[in-house]
């Protein structure tokens, strides 16, 4: 299994190991697919065989999001407790506040992250989102403030304060001057002015004093002193569920492959470079025998892989300086990418068939493993 393969038999062996690659329809229908056992003589360690394929959480989440009209995961905000939840996560067995899980899907190119709402919260109690606006009289500081409008009936020219117009009955409103029926407020009434009046001291003023009130702890705070809390929504970038499924499954299987060659391997690992900066690596592996490391980047996007994608890989690659770096993709590779990868020592594995990608990665790691004294 871990020796080199000829091109003729690589596909058949890979399909035997990973029969669900290319069989997404069966996965989504929850049909059971038998996985032939891997002979003991071909295993590097005693890790258990690959489990039978089943719909991953990410696939299930995408199925849930596709039911939404806007294909967007929106937060539920608990204003009293100061908590942000994404209820749809409970449908796939994740905790509703697991924002890191959604951010990982953003890193994978599955979701796009957008600002949903900016909340102004109390500077003293920033974990409490519940606040309301209060208007105060600038003279006596009373909250007994009313807003007044000046209305003009265009047909007869009558002008009076809004309290003199009765619009409580929308179906039957009349001008108090000419007594004609007002059928369309927006077309027949003009609002030339607006101001406030304090019902306690009868003071009239253009601008009321605006304060925000921390409802839980019952105190006011100035709007300029408030702190911002940003909440996010997550929009599905690509509704092609097969591509999304392939991306999430290939990551799990590549991690399994590395571990089979006596590597530690982690998904979406945070790795510190020589500069001291931390980089998020889709798959980071490290040899248990000699400490050599490998970075694996995965691109699956309809627009193809271009030099800007390579630049995003170069930064962590040069800073971390691993023994090997792989870029695997089923997308089209734009002109100049292959030369750029070769120049910087990045091993580019491109194929529209994910099963072939797995096979080629296995051949690469197998040769590396053998050259470093690894044994079956």
Nearest to 144 by CA among 211, 208, 199, 209: 199
Q: How many residues does the chain have?
A: 376
The token pair at 198 is 């304090």
Mean pLDDT of 365-370: 86
Q: Which CATH architecture has domain 7-45+239-371?
A: 3-Layer(aba) Sandwich (3.40)
Q: Which of 318, 316, 322 is nearest to 281 (CA)?
A: 316
Q: What is the pLDDT of residues 168-179, one digit of tens each?
A: 666 678 888 898
For 189-241, write each residue's pLDDT tens digit.
888 888 999 999 999 998 899 999 998 889 999 988 888 889 999 998 765 55
Position 14 pLDDT exceeds 90: no
Q: Find the mean pLDDT for residues 128-153.
A: 90
Q: What angle separates helix 354-371 from helix 7-17, to the nearest 10 degrees?
A: 110
Predicted local distance difference test score (pLDDT) of residue 76: 94
CA distances to 19, 328, 374 from 6, rounded to whole Å, are 20, 20, 20
Nearest to 293 by CA among 308, 273, 314: 273
**Domain boundaries in the chain?**
7-45+239-371, 67-131+214-238, 138-207
Cβ atoms < 10 Å from Cβ of 78? 12
Tokens encoding 79:
């204003």
pLDDT of 53 > 70? The answer is no
Given a cut of 80, is residue 33 above it in pLDDT? no
> Can you give the pLDDT at residue 104?
83
Query: What would the pLDDT profile of 271-300 be if each residue is shown by its tens digit?
Result: 999 988 889 899 999 998 889 999 999 887
pLDDT (0 to 100) of residue 246: 62
What pLDDT is recorded for position 193?
A: 85
Coil/strand/helix, residue 362? helix
- Angle (CA) 91-19-11 rounded to 5° is 140
**Count of CA atoms in the C-beta half-sphere (13 A) of 345:** 9
d(CA 272, CA 260): 25
User: Torsion angle of alpha carbons 237, 243, 248, 254, nearest 10°?
Assistant: -140
Round to whole Å and give the CA distance between 90 and 237.
21
Confidence of residue 353 (pLDDT cuts 50, 70, 90): confident
Range name among 24-38, 110-124, 188-202, 302-316 with the lowest pLDDT average:
24-38
The model's pLDDT over 292-330, given as tens digits with 9 standing for 90+, comes to: 999 999 887 777 888 888 888 898 999 999 999 999 988
Using the 8-state DSSP alphabet, how is residue 175 labeled?
-
């Amino acid at each position: 299994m871990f020796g080199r393969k000829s091109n003729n038999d690589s596909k058949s062996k890979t399909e035997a190991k990973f029969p669900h690659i290319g069989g997404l329809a069966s996965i989504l229908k929850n049909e059971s697919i038998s996985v032939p056992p891997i002979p003991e003589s071909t295993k590097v360690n005693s890790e258990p065989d690959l489990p039978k394929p089943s719909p991953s959480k990410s696939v299930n989440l995408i199925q849930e999001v596709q039911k939404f009209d806007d294909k967007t995961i929106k937060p539920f905000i608990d204003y009293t407790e100061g908590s942000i939840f994404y209820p749809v996560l409970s449908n796939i067995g994740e905790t509703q506040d697991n924002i890191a899980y959604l951010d990982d899907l953003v890193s994978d190119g599955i979701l796009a992250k957008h600002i949903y709402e900016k909340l102004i919260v109390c500077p003293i109690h920033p974990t409490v989102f519940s606040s309301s606006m209060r208007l105060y009289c600038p003279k006596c500081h009373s909250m007994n403030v009313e807003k007044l409008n000046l209305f003009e009936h265009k047909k007869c020219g009558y002008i009076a304060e809004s309290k003199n117009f009765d619009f409580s009955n929308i179906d039957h409103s009349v001008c108090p001057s000419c007594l004609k029926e007002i059928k369309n407020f927006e077309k027949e009434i003009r609002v030339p002015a607006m101001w406030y009046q304090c019902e306690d001291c009868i003071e009239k003023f253009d601008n009321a004093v605006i304060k925000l009130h921390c409802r839980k702890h019952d105190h006011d705070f100035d709007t300029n002193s408030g702190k911002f809390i940003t909440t996010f929504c997550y929009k599905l970038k690509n509704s092609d569920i097969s591509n999304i499924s392939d991306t999430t499954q290939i990551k799990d299987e590549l991690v399994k492959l590395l571990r089979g060659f006596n590597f530690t391997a982690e998904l979406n690992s945070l790795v510190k470079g020589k500069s001291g900066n931390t980089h998020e690596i889709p798959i980071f592996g490290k040899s248990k025998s000699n400490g050599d490391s490998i970075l694996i980047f995965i691109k699956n996007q309809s627009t193809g892989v271009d030099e800007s994608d390579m630049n995003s890989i170069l930064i962590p690659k040069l800073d971390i300086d691993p023994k090997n770096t792989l870029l695997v993709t089923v997308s089209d590779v734009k002109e100049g990418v292959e030369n750029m990868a070769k120049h910087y020592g990045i091993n580019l594995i491109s194929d529209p068939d994910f099963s072939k990608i797995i096979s080629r990665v296995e051949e690469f790691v197998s040769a590396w493993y053998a050259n470093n004294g690894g044994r079956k």
